[in-house]
């Protein structure tokens, strides 16, 4: 029969499972084509059809900001295989034996008779197709703020190829001078850079108190500082109240505090919601996040219908709660599972996600995997411990670049719950390493002696990830008491009687300094200058340096000398998110 040629010894199948012949996939961007391709690889005889509303197939949506920003000029590169072949219907038919109908929308489903209805977006006649198994991959839709003026000319999202074409044209025409971006998440920040590169003055408007809400405030603030250093404006804690227009065209935006900002272009990037209207109309169950409910086989409430990608909700492997995870990699993984199960019966599983993502922020990156401290607390995990570490990704002689990392772990078990990392260094490697640790359920103890690849062009001997684990271990075992930048700022603002001890050298102090009342005693001189410290051994002493490694050594010395409340400013000056004197 040619079906399911890759057997899995450990699994037994019912004969009926091999009967699927007509597979129809609705949606042809990420999850859909992946599901179709997987189904084809496992079943050379099935009749596989992709029905795609958009005119293009297999669009690399994650690449839109880089096309808009001019990182490359050939639009077809967003649609190509790695060997440069555009994935159009001809490619799908010739290379994969998959019938792809583009510009065609599925308008209804008759589940009882296993039929669907579709018609071309150009308004063609309704066509009826029958299926044995159906795969939903209808993706997500951008959220649009329900404010006056939302239909004015000059307002767009960056969600489709059409949007990317529109914004790329704006880049090429060079007529627009000012733009606002509504929303400071992944797409908002990437679009900010793209339009900034197009020579447009940008303001990012975020309703919440911080950009990038998957990060804790301190790291998000460091990201915001970096965006501002690139001459983009950022307004946080202030939402959009109204789009202002003249003759049907956008001329500005009004914020909830009354501020008006003139602009000719607005890009709305306030998140996405699962595109489930068709599924709901067909009677499929949707869940609390709005996504189609699927089991671990990516099977919906109808056993003959699978679903994958942005249109579904999945289970967080960490909290066990349902989440909407609109990520391109997850869409592909889910599509792979749905495609296999549609032709082979339920045997492949998708066991949930952990919330891993990364975002380019000009020459920085911001990544997260698992839970931030805020997310862990929100999920009801109270007994957690965190560590912030700042260190370069490589030795200085190899032009190492800074990474600021925050790790969150369960205090009792030591299990790592989440890692965030930002900076100009190799954030992706840190997040990938951490993601594997979280997926494997590893603890701080398991990770202290991690055997990671080391050579100077790639890493430090103690990689940033391991150094973060070491800090966390020291804190868990009471060898180090950390203090966060936010706590120090609060103590300083409240004019608390504390001693802030900077242990760097005088040259470094001249170059960069916090200027919050600190005293400078270089680490090398500290043993001989203890007399300059407060005589009251109970007084709080907060030690730090550029990254707080020397700060930690100073703290060890002071504790040994009888000081009872010695703390280390975690991440040191490099992780300080507030303004500095220098």
Binding-site ranges for ligand FAD (CB under 6 A)? 26-32, 51-54, 61-62, 64-65, 105-106, 137-140, 158-159, 187, 275, 278, 309-310, 326-329, 331
E strand intervals along 270-321: 272-274, 292-293, 305-307, 312-315
Per-residue exposure over 342-378, b if at least 16 CB sit within 10 Å of its own CB, e if not: bbbbbbbebebbbbbbbbbbbebbbbbbbbbbbbbee
**DSSP for 199-251?**
T-EEEEE-SSSSS-TTS-HHHHHHHHHHHHHTT-EEE-S--EEEEEEETTEEE
Going 53 to 56 to 57 to 62, the CA torsion angle's sign is negative
Concerning whether 421 is annotated as a catalytic residue, the answer is: no
DSSP 98: E
The dihedrals phi and psi of 423, each to the nearest 5 degrees, come to 135, 180
Output 64 or 576, the one with its CB closest to ligand FAD: 64
The number of angstroms, rounded, from the C-alpha of 506 to the middle of its chain's C-alpha atoms is 40
| 321 and 315 Cβ atoms separated by less than 8 Å | yes
**Spatial distance between the Cα atoms of 465 and 309, rounded to a whole number of angstroms:** 30
The dihedrals phi and psi of 181, each to the nearest 5 degrees, come to -120, 125
**Spatial distance between the Cα atoms of 46 and 35, rounded to a whole number of angstroms:** 13
Place of tokens 């009801």: 380
Token pair of 266 as six digits: 């607005």
DSSP 30: S
**Spatial distance between the Cα atoms of 242 and 214, rounded to a whole number of angstroms:** 26
| 519 and 499 Cβ atoms separated by less than 8 Å | yes
- Residue 536: partners with Cβ closer than 8 Å, 6 or more residues away: none
DSSP 359: E
The H-or-E segment that residue 448 falls in is: none
Token pair of 29 as six digits: 């961007």
Q: Which of 62, 80, 192, 311 is catalytic?
A: 62
The H-or-E segment that residue 546 falls in is: none
**Spatial distance between the Cα atoms of 256 and 398, rounded to a whole number of angstroms:** 48
Place of tokens 């936010």: 486
Per-residue exposure over 176-198, b if at least 16 CB sit within 10 Å of its own CB, e if not: bebbbbbbbbbbbbbbbbbbbbb
Output 29 or 319, the one with its CB closest to ligand FAD: 29
Output 275 or 319, the one with its CB closest to ligand FAD: 275
Using alpha carbons, list the distances in angstroms from residue 278 to 110, 140, 261, 375. 11, 12, 39, 32
Q: Of 499, 580, 477, which Cα lies nearest the Cα of 543?
A: 499
Shortest CB 458 distance to ligand FAD, Å: 23
**Spatial distance between the Cα atoms of 412 and 358, rounded to a whole number of angstroms:** 29
Residues in the chain, overall count: 582
* SS3 (DSSP) at 519: strand
Output 121 or 295, the one with its CB closest to ligand FAD: 121
Largest CA distance in the chain: 90
DSSP 15: G
Using alpha carbons, list the distances in angstroms from residue 345 to 19, 131, 301, 487. 9, 15, 15, 55
Which residues are catalytically annotated? 62
């Amino acid at each position: 029969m040619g079906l399911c040629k890759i057997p899995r010894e450990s699994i037994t199948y019912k004969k009926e499972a091999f009967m699927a012949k007509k597979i129809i996939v609705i949606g042809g961007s990420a999850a859909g084509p992946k599901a179709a391709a997987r189904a084809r690889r496992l079943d050379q005889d099935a009749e596989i059809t992709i029905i795609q509303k958009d005119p293009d197939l297999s669009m690399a949506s994650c690449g839109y900001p880089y096309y808009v920003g001019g990182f490359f000029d050939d639009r077809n590169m967003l649609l190509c295989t790695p060997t440069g072949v555009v994935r159009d219907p001809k490619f799908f038919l010739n290379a994969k034996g998959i019938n792809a109908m583009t510009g065609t929308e599925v308008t209804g489903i008759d589940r009882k008779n296993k039929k669907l209805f579709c018609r071309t977006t150009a308004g063609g006649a309704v066509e009826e197709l029958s299926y044995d198994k159906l795969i939903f991959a209808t993706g997500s839709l951008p959220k649009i703020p329900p404010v006056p003026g939302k239909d004015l000319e000059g307002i767009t999202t960056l969600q489709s190829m059409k949007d990317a074409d529109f914004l790329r044209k704006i880049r090429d025409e060079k007529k627009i001078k000012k733009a606002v971006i509504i929303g400071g998440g992944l797409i908002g920040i990437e679009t900010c850079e793209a339009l900034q590169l197009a020579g447009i003055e940008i303001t990012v408007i975020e309703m919440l108190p911080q950009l990038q809400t998957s990060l804790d405030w301190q790291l998000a603030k460091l990201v915001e500082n970096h965006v501002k250093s690139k001459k983009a404006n950022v307004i946080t804690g202030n939402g959009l109240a109204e789009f202002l227009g003249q003759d049907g065209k956008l001329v500005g935006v009004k914020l909830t505090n009354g501020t008006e900002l003139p602009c000719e272009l607005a890009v709305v990037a306030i998140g996405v919601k699962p595109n489930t209207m068709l599924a709901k109309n067909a009677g499929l169950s949707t869940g609390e996040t709005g996504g189609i409910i699927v089991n671990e086989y990516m099977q919906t409430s109808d056993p003959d219908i699978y679903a994958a990608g942005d249109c579904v909700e999945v289970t967080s492997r960490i909290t066990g709660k349902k989440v909407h995870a609109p990520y391109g990699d997850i869409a592909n993984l889910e599509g792979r599972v749905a495609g296999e199960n549609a032709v082979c019966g339920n045997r492949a599983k998708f066991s949930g996600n952990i919330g891993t993502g990364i975002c380019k922020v000009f020459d920085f990156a911001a990544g997260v995997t698992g839970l931030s401290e805020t997310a862990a607390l929100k999920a009801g995990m109270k007994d957690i411990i965190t560590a912030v570490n700042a260190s370069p990704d490589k030795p200085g002689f190899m032009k190492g670049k800074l990474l600021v990392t925050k790790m969150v772990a369960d205090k009792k078990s030591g299990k790592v719950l989440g890692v965030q990392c930002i900076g100009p260094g190799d954030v992706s490697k840190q997040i990938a390493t951490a993601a594997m640790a979280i997926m494997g359920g590893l603890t701080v103890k398991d990770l202290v002696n991690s055997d990671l690849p080391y050579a100077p062009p790639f890493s430090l001997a103690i990689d940033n990830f391991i150094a973060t684990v070491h800090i966390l271990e020291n804190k868990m075992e009471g060898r180090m008491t950390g203090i966060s930048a936010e706590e120090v700022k609060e103590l300083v603002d409240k004019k608390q009687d504390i001693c802030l001890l900077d242990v760097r050298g005088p040259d470094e102090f001249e170059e960069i300094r916090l200027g919050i009342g600190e005293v400078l005693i270089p680490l090398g001189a500290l043993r001989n200058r203890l007399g300059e410290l407060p005589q009251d051994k109970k007084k709080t002493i907060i030690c730090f340096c550029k990254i707080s490694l020397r700060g930690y050594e100073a703290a060890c010395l002071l504790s040994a000398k009888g000081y009872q409340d010695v703390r280390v400013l975690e991440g040191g000056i490099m992780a300080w998110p507030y303004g500095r004197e220098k």
